[in-house]
Structure 1
Amino acid sequence: MRSLKDFARSKSFHVIYLNTGSCNGCDIEILASLSPRYDIEQYGIFAHQPNPREADVILVTGPVAEQWEEKLVSLYRKVPEPKVVVAIGQCSCSGALFEDGETDPPVSDYIPVDAKIPGCPPRPQEIVDTLLQVAPRVFKGYGEE
């Protein structure tokens, strides 16, 4: 028999997003996806989970700054399975203009990335669409009796 928590998690998931040194352009687009125009919560996606132990999806924006190298791996380990990582923006996908300097992109060098959303910054609709595409990976195991 499924627990109440498993039933609830089979219908919605929680997202934690990490800015690992970006210019905040991608962060603004994530916040725009919460606006009434895109209304990401209508799909059961709750995009502001401050506790990694209760998150299902990690959104990472920006190149990996030096102070984030160890923290990123630590936070990744705290998120329970099944978990999905989405790299948002060109900086987290490849480094873009931050390729040289005090950062060490891409994010996939530190943690496994399941989906990438390139762009500088990507549009909110692309973020919503990608989260809906990765939803089956998050729900895997919760729908079983």
Structure 2
Amino acid sequence: MQAWDWFGDRSLMVVDISLACCAIEMEAATALHAVHDDSAPRGQVPLQPGDTVAIIVAGTVTDAVVAHVEQIIARHDAKVVSFGVCASSGGPYWDSYAVTKGIGQMLEVARFVPGCPPTPAALHSTLEELRA
């Protein structure tokens, strides 16, 4: 699996599961804050055993993709970050039959980043907390 070496020292590797409009803010955050490896595709590098991993779930999680999200997270001993109100509680779609009412109902979430959408700075600050 490919990840962003967010701080450039392998202290926190970031994998994003971008599902909806928060994906745009996730891309903005990586452009502003993540250290890019120009020799790697999309600037991402492969995960290695022993890496500290944060998986960011950004956007609306539907019941149809829940199993896929859980499968990706289960592969790694990762800290889960719920990025945005949709990932955290279903957002404006909370009453839809197809929308999961927040990933915290299925998984242990290390941090919730509020907002619709959250700012890139809010994500960076959260990742600094997880790194510590």
Normalising by structure 2, report the TM-score: 0.75
User: In structure 2, what is the equivalent of residue 31 of structure 1?
Assistant: 27
Q: Percent identity?
A: 23
Deviation at 1:11, TM superposition (A): 4.4
How well do the aligned residues superpose, as a CA RMSD in angstroms? 2.7
2-side partners of 1:58 and 1:108: how far apart?
Answer: 13
Q: Does 1:127 align with 2:115?
A: no
SS in 1 for 2:64: helix
Question: Unmatched 5+ residue regions in structure 2?
Answer: 1-7, 37-42
1 or 2, which has the higher helix percentage? 1
**Alignment: residue pair count:** 117
2-side partners of 1:74 and 1:98: how far apart?
Answer: 23
2-side partners of 1:73 and 1:34: how far apart?
Answer: 23
User: In structure 2, what is the equivalent of residue 17 of structure 1?
Assistant: 16
Give the structure with higher Rg (CA).
Answer: 1
**How does 1:89-100 map onto structure 2 within 5 Å?**
89-100=84-95
Amino acid at match of 1:61: A
Between the two structures, name the one with larger relative contact order (CA 8 Å, sep ≥ 6): 1
Q: 1:40 to 1:114 in 2, by over 3 A?
A: same
